[in-house]
Amino acid sequence: MGTLCPLNLGRVTLQPVNLTPEEAERVAEGDPKKSRWLPSLYVQVLIAITIGVAVGWLKPEAGIAMKPIGDGFVKLIKMLIGPIVFSTVVVGIAGMKDLRKVGRVGGKAILWFEFMTTIALLIGLGMAHLFTPGSNVDKSVNAHDVSVLNAQLSGPRPHGFTEHLLALIPDTFVGAFVSGDVLQILLIATLTGSALAGLGERAAGLVRILEQFAAGVFGVVGIVMRLAPLGAFGAMAHTIGKYGLGTLGSLAKLMATFYGTALLFVFVVLGLVLRTQGLSIIKLLAYLREELAIVLGTSSSESALPRLMAKLEGLGCSSSVVRLVVPTGYSFNLDGTSIYLTMAALFVAQATGVSLTLGEELKLLLVLLLTSKGAAGVTGSGFVTLAATLAATGSIPVAGLSLLLGIDRFMSEARALTNIIGNAVATIVVARWEGELDLDRARATLDRQVT
């Protein structure tokens, strides 16, 4: 069975799983033939974010007008997510050949996702109780304009367990790709990959075609990623221009609590997890600095999905594990979104004067364990998921979400950053768990990130 040919994604190369040490070094350090007159993508994006903040602050109307630039970049990435997830998951499963291994890796991944999601939900709940960010907020929901809220939450949303399960099944095979529903695409890809793995050599030709198709899609990603600084500029200029820096002050306690909790989760929880694997969270963040800068600028973890997969393969995780765990994690392992969901739900309850019983909080947690799985890594999805959760539990007024409208965009950046870091750590853990992590290469690659 063939292997994916090397593909440049900015400074990252998607390589076959059997990399030599020299090839792994090129993955980590970038193409030495690349022109040096341009700064790295990481620096370009940070400069673009800084300019975007300045434009939005000094010229709000001009900043608001930049919205199509940021939206356009995210739409370009979203356009490619379906083909990337389908082709990589199918090839990853088919490449394993042994369906028992597919089930074993998938089972370990889901087990880890559920464990970490529960930890994230509980941490968000605990921090909201400890700091009570909604205690000093204006409790009159009627004083807020809910027309924008109603517009954002329009459309059907599944509330019950049965409805969520049925929502996983697309109406047609191509319907999932048309709607861009990652969960539905994952279902189709899993079934297709399992079928091809069962066919063995008879399906080898089709698998090679899908590998070549994936190579072409990643080639398109390489072109689109050159626009990342422009997309980050447009998104940040619009956010600051529309909501203003003053918006942060009015709900500073919630912002500080949420960002502090996200940092605590990354450096303490995920840091301890990586330490048990013999790796450093600081060095991993340095290794993923370009991907994190892109996510920061666009508020979307999906914008860095292709590069994250390439980086993890270059780090030493096996190709088959990366291509199965990372796309699945983008729907099932949203740690940052989970923290946000419990914290925001209790914030609304505190701000609207609703006292939740222990039973109501447990019900909220159980519903969030289900609804959080449908929140894709795109700006605003966590907000919609929160609304669906509050509507399903009935204990907290959905209209109270109007209190969050002004700062949700700022909080979505921390959600997305935590999500992508959580998925990177999850992939490393599952690969090590499965015995498919080259730990020596991982340590050598990460050591080069900190001088």
For residue 373, what pLDDT is reported?
A: 66
Strands (E), 204-362: none
For residue 160, what pLDDT is reported?
A: 54
For residue 194, what pLDDT is reported?
A: 86
pLDDT in tens, 257-284: 999 999 999 999 999 999 999 999 999 9
For residue 374, what pLDDT is reported?
A: 55
Which of 119-128, 184-193, 241-250 is the most confident on average?
119-128
Comparison of pLDDT for 10 and 326, the residue scoring more: 326
For residue 246, what pLDDT is reported?
A: 62
What token pair was written down for 436?
Answer: 């498919």
Report the pLDDT averaged over residues 177-187. 80
Region of poorest pLDDT, from 5-14, 272-281, 349-358, 372-381: 5-14
Note every long-range contact of 173-180, with CB atoms under 8 Å and residues 24 or more positions apart, other chains counting. Answer: 176/82, 177/82, 177/83, 177/86, 180/78, 180/81, 180/82
Report the pLDDT averaged over residues 80-93. 84
For residue 5, what pLDDT is reported?
A: 41
pLDDT in tens, 61-79: 998 899 888 888 878 877 8
How many whole angstroms separate alpha carbon 157 and alpha carbon 185? 18
pLDDT > 90 in the chain, percent: 22
The structural domains of the chain, with segments of one domain joined by +, span 40-447
- Whether residue 143 has pLDDT greater than 80: no
Which of 228-237, 246-255, 310-319, 357-366 is the most confident on average?
310-319
What b/e sequence results for 26-43 when a residue is b if at least 16 CB atoms lie within 10 Å of its CB, and e otherwise?
A: bbbebeeeeeeeeeebbe
pLDDT > 70 in the chain, percent: 78
For residue 271, what pLDDT is reported?
A: 96
What b/e sequence results for 225-239 when a residue is b if at least 16 CB atoms lie within 10 Å of its CB, and e otherwise?
A: beebbbbbbbbbbbb
How many whole angstroms separate alpha carbon 41 and alpha carbon 31? 13
Report the pLDDT averaged over residues 229-257. 78
Instruction: Tell me how far CA of residue 101 lies from CA of 114, 124, 311, 317, in angstroms.
Output: 20, 34, 23, 16
Report the pLDDT averaged over residues 369-375. 67
Comparison of pLDDT for 25 and 333, the residue scoring more: 333
CATH superfamily of 40-447: Sodium:dicarboxylate symporter (1.10.3860.10)
Question: Which residues are CB-neighbours of 309 under 8 A, at least 6 positions away?
Answer: 14, 88, 322, 323, 326
Residue 8, helix vs strand vs coil: strand
Residue 319 — very low, low, confident or very high, per pLDDT cuts 50/70/90?
Answer: confident
What's the mean pLDDT when you consider all of the chain? 79
